[in-house]
Every structure is written in structure tokens, then in C-alpha cells.
Amino acid sequence: MDDAADILNRIRDVVGSEPKTVPLHAPEFNGNEWSFVKECIDTGWVSSVGSFVDDFERKVAAAAGTRNAVAVVNGTAALEIALRLVGVSPGDEVIVPALTFVATANAVTHIGAVPHFAEATATTLCLDPIALDAHLDQIAEHGPLGLVNRQTGRRIAAIVPMHALGYPVNMERLTELADRRGVAVVEDAAEALGSRFQGRPCGGLGRLGAFSFNGNKIITTGGGGAVTTNDDDLAKRVKHLTTTAKVPHPWAFDHDAPGYNYRLPNLNAALGCAQFEALPARLAEKRALAARYADAFADCKTAEMVHKAEDAGSNFWLNAIRLNEPDRRDHVLSQLNEAGIQARPLWRLMHRLPFHISCPRADLTVAEDLEARVICLPSSAQLGRSA
Ligand SMILES: *Cc1c(COP(=O)(O)O)cnc(C)c1O
């Protein structure tokens, strides 16, 4: 049998023959979404202040295991603010994985800093701390400003590990190498709500964490994000900077910095509060779906699951297979999509995007191999629901 036909059969074994078109990841609204959003409209509290925002922030902080969470307009804004608050400035460099969604790098560029692309591990798809350690040994040295890239003369101001498809980065190794060099860690936990590393929730493992609640994430606010941190002072500054840096006063408009209008509206937070009620069930369904995919691909000759279902810690946001043959990827993708299975490749690697052509980078052999061979499979939680 053709490899694409075989893979299609295995996917259909898991997702069923109906519906004809199976989306990569569909949002679901089966709980209190309608009544919470209606409450905003009925009471007039639709904008960036309201009880749902406060409640949503408490729920995000609880999920991330942090003392604080500040709700913002999206995950990209969350990353940008988090990077600014660890001191990333124009002209600095920030280590980000080459294998990530473009928003991770955009947040760096929007500050006027330069993304510096790091290698992935084949088993996790996440940033490889061992390769990064060796790379920094080679290209960086300590100066009066902190860690400096000897080749560019720029300060390396932060590292942004990204928990790819929900699978946790090895944060123990990463934190150790970052601490040893005095570089701040900002977690891109956009895909990792409910994921854990060594039992501790992702998003609470760096100085600051960033979440996304975009429509394709495990739960959604329509659009939205959050910054998480255990540092109360940093949390206050996140809130201040994202609220136009307005000096608190009952009626005067005074601002002490060129702040941002990045706060999450109460309407979106209302949606998020209802979505949070479904999170525990959704995590269980995702785990069940990953186990079913693992069964379906157990004896496949042309592809294997990237993340093993028994691996503790992942929220299994997206399931993915790795093809044995890299030159079959586009053939398999086009056959699956033609058959209604909305399978997708990973992201185009960051260093290949034309606007990143002059950015510094490590050796990216593994990331390039993954880009050529990995295919993401339909992973909506309802696919893991028992019939
Ligand atoms: C979704 C996502 C973001 C950005 O979130 P938005 O809410 O879309 O701005 C950032 N990083 C990663 C890895 C993502 O998957």
C-alpha cells in the first residue's frame, strides 16, 4: 500500500469515517460560555475591567502554579511584555528555538531586539538545552553587560524555551545553563496550558511565562493571552505597562511611561472562565486521543508518533507523526488533506523566513530534519471522547 494511504487508514481508525472533514483543532463551547458572555452584555461590563478578568487571572495563575497572572490581548503581546520586563532592550539578542510559531520571534523583533535561533531535540521538538549550552560556550562570553555574543557584539538578554505542541522543554537543564550564565528565562507556554515538567506546571518555571488563548489552543478566549510570574513586583509592572501605564487616580489621566493598551476585555475573559471549567475533561480526552494514535501507529512501517503517549507531562495539545522518509512529507500531506484530514506540517523554520535572514543561529541540523518529516494530526479534544 502507498504510504499516504496507509497513514490515512490509521488516522481514520482513530477519528472515524465521519465527519468527512476533520479539522486540525476545533474550539468547543459546551458549557457556560453563552451565559457568561451574556452577563457581560447585560451588566455593561464588556471592556478591560470586570469580574471575569479577575476570575480568569486567578484561574490562569492556578493552572500555571504561579502567584500571579495578568490577562492580555494575545500570546504575542504576553511574550513581548514579559521580554521587556526581564530587561530585553533594542539591540539585544534573545535565544529562541528555530522550530516555533513565528510569534515567539516576532515578540523579540517588536522590541527592536534580534532573535538568535537555537536547535531542537528530535524526541521532544523543543529547544535542546545541551546543544544550546555547547553553542553558547562557543560563541558567547561574559562582559560587563552580561553574556555577550562574541560574533555580533550584542548582549544575549534572555532565553525563550517553547513547549512544542504541549510537550515540556527539559526545564531543569535549561534553567541550570541560564542561571550559570545569568540570563533570564521567559517561557513560551502558549501551547502548554496544563502541561507539566517533573510535576510542576509549565508557565511557572521561568521568571515569567506567556500563554495564548487563541482559537486553536487547548482552551480559548477568542483571542487572548496571559503573563504569569511568581514575582509580585513584576506582575504589578505587567499590569501597569499593559494598562497604558496609567497612574492610579480616581479621575485624573496621568501616565508615567509610553504604555500599551494590551488588557484582555471582560467579554473575552468571560468566554475563558467558561472554557476553564472544561479544561480537566479536555486534558483527559487529549491524553486518551494520544493513546489511540499511539495504538494506531504502533506497527506502522513508514511513520511513528513523535511524542509517546506514556510520556508524563504533556497536555497533548497536538499529536504529530515523524515520517521515515523526508521527501514524502508533501505527498502525504496533500493526500491527507484531499481526503478531508486537515493535517499540517510544522512551522517553516524561523531562520528560513526572509525577514530573519541576517539573524544569528546555531547549528540547526535536527530542526531542519524535523521540519522535513513531521506532520501534525487532527487533535481536537472531542476526538478523544469515549463514544
Ligand atoms: C499561539 C502561539 C503564540 C502566540 O499566541 P497568539 O495568541 O496567537 O498571539 C506564541 N507562541 C506559540 C508557540 C504559539 O503556538
Q: Cα–Cα distance between 361 and 135 in angstroms, integer? A: 9
Q: Which atom of ligand 1 is nearest to the CA of 107?
A: 10
* 75 pocket-lining for ligand 1 (C-beta < 6 Å): yes
37-66 pLDDT, tens per residue? 999 999 999 998 889 999 999 999 999 999
Q: Cα–Cα distance between 136 and 234 in angstroms, integer? A: 28
* 74 pocket-lining for ligand 1 (C-beta < 6 Å): yes
Strands annotated E in 281-318 = 303-305
What region, left, alpha or beta, does residue 203 occupy, with left being phi > 0 and alpha being psi -120 to 50 degrees? left
Q: Cα–Cα distance between 204 and 66 in angstroms, integer? A: 6
Do strands 225-229 and 208-212 pair parallel, antiparallel, or not at all (unpaired)? antiparallel
Q: Cα–Cα distance between 306 and 166 in angstroms, integer? A: 12
Q: Cα–Cα distance between 297 and 304 in angstroms, integer? A: 6
Per the prediction, the chain carries an average pLDDT of 96
* 100 pocket-lining for ligand 1 (C-beta < 6 Å): yes
Q: Is the pLDDT of residue 1 over 80?
A: no
- CB proximity list for 348: less than 8 A, separation 6 or greater: 371
* 188 pocket-lining for ligand 1 (C-beta < 6 Å): yes
Q: Dig out the grid coordinates for 149 from the structure.
A: 555574543
What region, left, alpha or beta, does residue 381 occupy, with left being phi > 0 and alpha being psi -120 to 50 degrees? alpha
Nearest CA among 230, 231, 193, 227 for reference residue 209? 227
244-298 pLDDT, tens per residue? 999 999 999 999 999 999 999 999 999 999 999 999 999 999 999 999 999 999 9
Decide: pTM greater than 0.85: yes
Closest Cα to atom 6, ligand 1: which residue?
75
77-104 pLDDT, tens per residue? 999 999 999 999 999 999 999 999 999 9
Q: Cα–Cα distance between 42 and 46 in angstroms, integer? A: 9
Q: What share of the chain is helix, strand, coil (3-state, %, to 5)?
A: 40, 20, 40
Q: Is the pLDDT of residue 387 over 90?
A: no
Q: Which atom of ligand 1 is nearest to the CA of 162?
A: 13
DSSP H/E element including 86 = none
31-43 pLDDT, tens per residue? 999 999 999 999 9
Q: Cα–Cα distance between 312 and 49 in angstroms, integer? A: 38
Please give the distance, rounded to the nearest whole angstrom, from the Cα atom of residue 75 to the centre of ligand 1: 5
The full 3-state SS of 26-59, as one line of letters, equals: CCCCCCCHHHHHHHHHHHCCCCCCCHHHHHHHHH
Please give the distance, rounded to the nearest whole angstrom, from the Cα atom of residue 153 to the centre of ligand 1: 30
Task: Pick from 101, 318, 346 the residue to mutate for probing ligand 1's pocket: most ligand atoms within 8 Å of its CB.
Answer: 101
Q: Cα–Cα distance between 270 and 55 in angstroms, integer? A: 9
**What three-state secondary structure class fits 142?**
strand
Please give the distance, rounded to the nearest whole angstrom, from the Cα atom of residue 78 to the centre of ligand 1: 9
